[in-house]
Each structure stands twice: as structure tokens, then as C-alpha cells.
Amino acid sequence: MKIIRTKDYQDMSRKAANIISAQMILKDDSVLGLATGSTPIGIYDQLVDWYKKGDLDFSKITTVNLDEYKGLPKENDQSYWYFMNKNLFSRVNIRPDYHFLPDGTNLDSDNECERYEKLIDSLGGIDLQLLGLGRNGHIGFNEPCDSFPQDVHVVDLTESTIEANKRFFASADDVPKQAYTMGVGTILRAKAILLVVSGKDKAEALNAVVNGPITPQVPGSVLRLHPNVIIVADEDALSEME
Ligand code: F6R
């Protein structure tokens, strides 16, 4: 694991965007694995900025996202598709049919999980997977559990996640109860992994990922088994490092 220390969120975003753009320049038809959440927003802004300046080209790039809520259509402003479209896809010259997320409207979980895993395989795998880190060490929607889930699978959202999401929906019934996510195996099959971490509230999780035991109780710790992981983290996120 290579750890790149940055001053703050902005510095983290710029350095991580540099790594992604290097990948895109070296291989213009790269398959990029992408993430949602607050951490990558600055990275996407930076990539869009370089695209607008003519320094980056998405015309041969393919993207696959980590996860999506089951039951939410693209148009729902809480869907991850909506997030990606707003923050990246609609702002660059990526081809419409070349950015993929699990299909939240496919309610047949077995079918959707198999379809998405096969889709990733058919693209020749992921060249560079961008990951954020949960405060409990989760990656994608792989929450602490007793064994590492391998392939794309459906997860039940915890009561606390459902409760926290309630405010974004018209009624409690509309809050998604499940999500599709790449498994730990899917993530580890990526050729390279870029984990971005910012803020004091992630410091304990990051220390556990880097220095603790490799355990499904800290899903991110499994990244230590991958030969090509770069962590870009700001000082706050590195503040608990042993
Ligand atoms: C997002 C994802 C999540 C987030 C993680 C960190 O697609 O799969 O694992 O990366 O929850 O989220 P933020 O960046 O909002 O702290």
C-alpha cells in the first residue's frame, strides 16, 4: 500500500484526480470504477475542470460504479445514478452507453447481481477502482460482517441508515431498504485501487484498515491483500495512524 499524505480535502482531491487522469492518459480506453458519497465530489470537480481546459478526454472511457439503491430509478434525486450524472457524466464527453451502475429498478436481485458482475467481466475488468471509506471501515456497501462477500450482491440497509435517509424521501415507505453493491472480490479484481479518505471522523477507520488485523469486521482491511493500492488521505484522516 502506498500512502500519499495531503494537507487537506482540496489537496487530496487534486492529487487523487491526478492519479485518475494519469490512468486516462496512459490508457485512453480505461475502465474506471467509481464511487459516490461526499469524498469524491472534489475529485470529479477537478476532472471536469481539466476536461474543460482540454487536458482530459472521456470519449473512450468506460465507468462502472460500486453500488446503487435497489428500487430507485435513475430520475430519483437520491439514486446514485442521479448523483453521478450531476457530478460527472453530464459534465464531460463520456459516451451515454458507457457509464454503468447496478440497475436499481431490476427487483430480481439474483438476476441483477449476476448481470452486473458479468458486465464488469465483459469489459475486461476494472483498470482503476476509486473507493471511499466508511466510518466503520466499509467499502462500497460491504458493511462489517463475518465473512467477506465475494461478488456483486444485495445488502439489507441497517436501521440507522434507513432512519438517516428518511429525511430525503416523501415517506418512510419510499426509503430504499436494500442496495446492490460490488463484492469485496469484485473490488479486489480491479488492477489498481485508489482509496481516498478525508476528515478526522475517518481517522480511526483508516488506522484500522492500514494497521489492524485483516478482518471482515473492517471490510477495508482486505485492501492490504491487493498488490496495487494507493491511499490518498488528508492530515486529519491520518491523525490516528499508529
Ligand atoms: C459510495 C460508497 C460508500 C462511500 C463511503 C464513504 O459509492 O460505496 O462506501 O464511499 O460510505 O462515504 P463519504 O465519502 O460520503 O464519506
Domain range annotation of the chain: 2-193+210-225
Distances (CA, A) of 165 to 93, 177, 227: 32, 10, 36
Give buried/exposed letters for 201-239 (b at 16+ CB in 10 A, else e): ebbbbbbbbbebeeebebbbbbbeebeebbbbbbebbbe
- Which pLDDT value is given to residue 95? 97
**136 in catalytic set:** yes
**85 in catalytic set:** no
Q: pLDDT per residue over 105-145, tens digit each?
A: 999 999 999 999 999 999 999 999 999 999 999 999 999 99
Residue nearest to atom 11 of ligand 1 (CA): 134
For residues 156 and 132, the answer to whether their CB atoms sit within 8 Å is: no
Distance 203 CA to ligand 1 centre (A): 15
Distance 197 CA to ligand 1 centre (A): 10
CA distance 145 to 169: 28
Q: pLDDT per residue over 9-42, tens digit each?
A: 999 999 999 999 999 999 999 999 999 999 999 9
CA distance 211 to 137: 12
The listed CATH number (3.30.930.10, 1.20.910.10, 3.40.50.1360, 3.40.50.300) that belongs to domain 2-193+210-225: 3.40.50.1360
- Is 0.90 exceeded by the ipTM? yes
- Which pLDDT value is given to residue 236? 98
48: number of Cβ within 10 Å: 18
DSSP state of 223: G
Decide if pLDDT at 159 tops 90. no
For residues 84 and 36, the answer to whether their CB atoms sit within 8 Å is: yes
Mean residue pLDDT across the chain: 96
Decide if pLDDT at 164 tops 80. no
Average pLDDT on 174-199 reads 97
Distance 180 CA to ligand 1 centre (A): 14
Average pLDDT on 48-62 reads 98
For residues 66 and 40, the answer to whether their CB atoms sit within 8 Å is: no
- Active site residue: 68, 76, 117, 138, which one? 138
List, chain by chain if needed, residues with CB within 6 Å of any ligand 1 atom: 35-39, 66-67, 132-134, 138-141
CA distance 74 to 164: 21
Decide if pLDDT at 72 tops 90. yes
Decide if pLDDT at 171 tops 90. no
Ligand 1 binding pocket mutation candidate from 138, 168, 232 (most atoms within 8 A of CB)? 138
- Active site residue: 18, 85, 106, 136, which one? 136
